[in-house]
Amino acid sequence: MPKLSYTPREAADETGISEETIRAAIRAGDLPTAPIVVNGRQIRRQIILHEDLVHWLTAERR
């Protein structure tokens, strides 16, 4: 079973795409990150959901 989410570094390791490119796609809004809320407070850590990563990867190939 695949992981449910990835940090930008983990996404880079899993895909073979550089972390810099992953972060650039996030900044451009091409690769969404999921907000993390703990006790009503949003955490600033960037988490990429598995399905968003797959969608971004397949959209890039078209």
Predicted confidence (pLDDT) per residue in 8-61, tens digit:
999 999 999 999 999 999 999 999 999 999 999 988 889 999 999 999 999 865
Q: Would you state the structure tokens that stand for residue 7, as one six-digit string?
A: 């940090």
pTM: 0.84
Give the CATH number of the domain where residue 20 resides. Answer: 1.10.1660.10
- CA distances for 6 relative to 18, 40, 57, 60, 62, angstroms: 14, 22, 14, 18, 23
Could you give the number of structural domains in the chain? Answer: 1
Predicted confidence (pLDDT) per residue in 7-19, tens digit:
999 999 999 999 9
What pLDDT sits at residue 44? 85
Domain that holds residue 20: 5-60
